Every structure is written in C-alpha cells, then in structure tokens.
Structure 1
Amino acid sequence: MTGTLINVVTILIGGLLGLVLGSRLPERLRQTVMAGLGLFTFAFGLKMFLDTQNALAVLISLLLGAVIGEWLRIEDGLRSVGRWLETRFTRSSDPAQDNRFVRGFLTASLVFCVGPMAILGSIQDGLTGNFQTLAVKAILDGFGALAFASTLGVGVLFSAVVLLGYQGGISLMAAQLQALITPAMMQELNATGGVILLAIAIGSLLEIKPIRAGNFLPALVIAPLMVVLMQALGVY
C-alpha cells in the first residue's frame, strides 16, 4: 500500500496548499484552472472510452449500473457522508458553504478514485510492491487537489479517506483480482470508467449539466461481468 499512502499524502499537501492560497488566487485564475481540469478530465475520459473493443458492453454496463445506483442511491449516500463530515469537522452556518463542502468532497473522491491508474497501480503495488504508477498518479492528484481545494474548499481533503479505502482495498485483494480479471475485462472496465469521467467533467467540473455520476459506479463491477457473458455468447 506504499503507493496509496503516497497518494494520500500528496492529496493532503495539495489540498492544504489550495486552502492557503485559495484566497490569494484571483477568481478568474481559479475559474480557468477548474475549467482546465474539467477539459482534461473530459479528454482523458474520452480517450479511455475510445479504447473499448465493444461499445455495447459499455452501454449495457452503464445502463444496468445506473439502475442499481439509483436504486441504492449511491450519490445520495456519498453526499450524506460529506454532510456528516462537514458537521463533524466544520462550523459553518452558511448553506452555500455547506453545499461547497459536499461538492468538493464528492467531486474530488470520484475524480481521484475512478480511472485506470488507480486500478492498475493498486494491483501492481499489492502484487509486486511496484508503486511507480501510483507515484505518477499521486503527483497528478496533488496538483488536482490544490486546484480543487482553492475553489471547492476543505471537503477536498476528506477525499483522501475515500481514496485510502478504495485503493488500499484493491491492493489487499490484488492477487485475487489479478487471477480473475482478464485483459479484455480490464479494457472494458476502463472504458466504462472513462464514460463516468465524462459525466464528472460535464456535471461537476465544467458545470454544463447536473449529472449524478456517483450512481454510475456499479457499472465498474458490471463491465467485467458483461465481457464474460458476451464471450460465452460469442458476441465479444
């Protein structure tokens, strides 16, 4: 879990720097930085999706994932966690400030956790102790946390807790996952994650249209299973 711990530290450092520098950064600069992160997240998500070998597998995974996510109300759960953390660790009485905390926590958690580097890096770290992939991701996340925190506030820091549990859990189960997940399954999982990143970019970062991106997360579990099913049916 060395790589995950490094990742957590860079998020905390970047987030703290963002909080310190946030009031000193011109609003126009912060808006432009957020737009840049949104555009990069959009482009990166699109690149991930374009690597799919079967778009139908991604589509079905997203639709089934959305149904399950809406039924379980995953995004509402994440927002509830954010609100609990806000009431536990902050003392704001401003509703706008409360929403800012939740948005920072939710956006940063999804952006930092969804992606091929988080999955592949955690597997490498857990199996071989090679944390180079996660070290690269840590640098990117550190800069992202600085930008997020300067605009979205202290909620971004608490995304490190989600990342610790997510990446740490994958590393601990890496041997089993590596034995079960084939390259084709990983490819469609990454492509599905790319679409979720597109939703994050559109809904949270670029603020084009509200999208409950968190409710699509079950699709990441469904995508590998769809590959197995479609291979058995001879349509993959």
Structure 2
Amino acid sequence: MNVAVPVPAHHHLVGPWIDSASVLFGGAIGAALATRLPERLRTALPLTFGLCSMGLGVALIVQVHHLAAMVLSLILGAGVGELIFLEKGIGLAGDRIRGIADRFLPRSADSGESEAEYLQTFVAVLVLFCASGTGIFGSMKEGITGDPTILIAKSFLDFFTAAIFATRLGWATSAIAIPQCIIQISLALGATVIMPLTTPVLIADFSSVGGLIMLATGFRICGILRFPVANMLPALAFAMPISALWARFFG
C-alpha cells in the first residue's frame, strides 16, 4: 500500500508569512497616504472588494455536494456564534487593537465614521483577511503539499485591500496581520492531520460554507446588509463532520 508522506509544514511554510506581510505593509501604506488618496477612490474600491468577496463566495457555494449539510452547518455555527457573542468579542478585540495602534502610531485622518460604524467595518475586514475560504484552503494545502501558490496569489489582493481599508480604519489594519498569520500557520500545521482524513466532497462542502460567509461579508462591506459574519465562523468547524455524517446516513 502506498502512503503519501506529508511535507513537514513547519520546515517549509512561506505562504502565511507572505500573505501577512502584504496586510502589514499594505495597511501601513494606506494609513500613511490616507489624506492623499481621492475620496472617490476610498469610497469606490471597498465596494469593488465587497463585490469580489461576493463573487468568490458564489464560486465556492456552487461547488456544494450536500446542500442540506451546508445549510445545517451554517445554522448551527451561527447559533453557536450568537450564544457565545463571538462578534462582540472580536469587536472588543478590534477596539483594543485600535487603541494600541493609536497609542504607538499616528492616528489616521478622521473618516467621519462613528465608533459603532468603525467597529462594524473592522470586524468585516478582520473576517475577510482571517477567515476567507481562499486563505483557509490555501493554508491547509500548503501544510499538506508544501505548495504556497494559493496564499501568494491571495497576498496581491490583500495588499491593495489592506491599503484601501487602512484609509478608513487607520494603522489598526496592519495589526490584523498578527491574527491572520497565527490562524494560517495553525491551519497549515494542522493540515497534516486533517487533510489525509478528508475527501473532495468534504472539502467542497467545507468550501461552500466558507463561500456563504464570504457572500455575507461582501454584503456587509458594501453596506447592503449587516450580516453578523463573525458569529457565522463556527460553521466552518461543523462543515466537514456534518457533511461526513450526511454522506454516511443519507448517501
């Protein structure tokens, strides 16, 4: 029997570092140039990023194999997130990150947003960088195969996204690189255990749940509807187990 030997992730990880560096430097450049960028650019590009998030979400959703499992995962995950006040906790963490950044770095130009609007935007951007389907799957793929190309490609988009949102959120945008790097490295290291146990069907259903979250994130970034996207994140943990159980009992 041939057994594939996983690539030692801790020896070869480069994708998470490159992607996180793109957020760090993109956020810093955007915060530094906030007053020099035209207002129309600062307003229009986030709408484009929101549309991209929705488009990527739809592309992932259509890959679903077990529709009922996807729906059930999102409902259970969102329920857990609401019960533990996950979004509120992330918002408080975001407020602390902003406070630390403002203490040691110059404040960005006032965008005119209220504190509540600022935190809503920050949480949406935090989810966009740290919990996108592309980032999660790219991290897992590098962990098991040593191929960082997905995360490197993602880093180009993240650089410009961070730069634009930093004109509104300030230097705290760069700080998102820290949890992003931790999450991606953890996923890559854990992939050596998780990926051999998965199947293409499980990965597709997992990606479809992530696609729903990315779709909701896009609506939120565009200001269309304020989905509690952070509270939906536990759905990612339910996706594969529920998909596996559904396949076993219902085919």
TM-score, normalised by the number of residues in structure 2: 0.86
**2:205 alignment partner in structure 1:** 188
1:12 aligns with 2:29: no
Give the corresponding residue for 1:75.
87
Runs of 4+ in 1 over 6 A off after TM superposition: none
The question of 1:45 aligning with 2:61 is answered no
- Distance across 1 between alignment mates of 2:60 and 2:206: 10
Of the candidates 226, 229, 239, which is equivalent to residue 223 of structure 1? 239
More off after superposition, 222-231 vs 98-107: 98-107
Between 164-173 and 115-124, report the one with greater CA deviation.
Answer: 115-124
Contact 1:2 1:131 in 2 (8 A): yes
Q: Does 1:85 align with 2:101?
A: no
Q: CA deviation at 1:67?
A: 0.8
Count of residues paired in the alignment: 233
Specify the code of the residue in structure 2 equivalent to 1:38. Answer: G
2-structure distance, mates of 1:177, 1:109: 24
What amino acid is the match of 2:14? T
Whether 2:153 is the aligned partner of 1:147: answer: no
Asked if structure 1 preserves the Cα contact closer than 8 Å seen for 2:202 and 2:243, the reply is yes
8 Å Cα contact 1:109-1:160 kept in structure 2: no
- Greater Cα shift, 165-174 or 124-133: 124-133
Change (3 A) 1:101 1:86: farther
Q: Specify the alignment match of 2:9 in structure 1.
A: none
Match of 2:36 among 16, 24, 36: 24
Task: Measure, in 1, the Cα distance between the counterparts of 2:196 and 2:166.
Answer: 38
Q: Does 2:80 correspond to 1:63? A: no
SS at match of 1:173: helix
Deviation string 1:141-183 (CA, Å, 9 cap, x unpaired) is 1111112112332222121111111101011112101122221
SS in 1 for 2:176: helix
Deviation per residue, 1:189-236 (Å, 9 max, x gap): 110111111111112x1111222110000111111111111111124x
Of the structure 1 ranges 98-107 and 115-124, higher mean CA displacement relative to structure 2 is found in 98-107
Q: Is the 8 A contact 2:124 2:229 kept in 1?
A: no
**Aligned-pair CA distance for 1:97:** 6.2
Say which structure is richer in helix. 1
The amino acid of 2:125's aligned partner reads: A
Structure 2, gaps ≥5 residues long:
1-12
Structure 1 vs Structure 2: percent identity of aligned residues?
30
**Which consecutive residues of structure 1, in runs of 5 or more, have no partner in the other structure?**
none
CA distance in 2, matches of 1:18, 1:104: 16
- Asked if 1:208 is matched to 2:224, the reply is yes
Match of 1:131 in 2: 148
Task: Output the aligned Cα RMSD.
Answer: 2.0
- Contact persistence 2:78–2:234 (CA under 8 A): yes
Q: Which of 216, 221, 225 is the aligned partner of 1:199?
A: 216
SS of residue paired to 2:164: helix
Match of 2:10 in 1: none
* 3-state DSSP of counterpart to 1:165: helix
Instruction: Kindly indicate whether the alpha-carbon contact (under 8 Å) linking 1:100 and 1:152 is maintained by their aligned counterparts in 2.
Output: no
Larger mean CA deviation between 103-112 and 43-52 belongs to 103-112
Q: Aligned partners of 2:137, 2:47: CA distance in 1, in Å?
A: 27
Are the aligned partners of 2:91 and 2:123 in contact in 1 as well (CA < 8 Å)?
yes
Aligned to 1:164: 181
Q: Secondary structure of 1:137's partner?
A: helix
**Counterpart amino acid of 1:140?**
L
Deviations 1:101-153 (A, max 9, x none): 53454222211223332123212322333211111111111111112112332
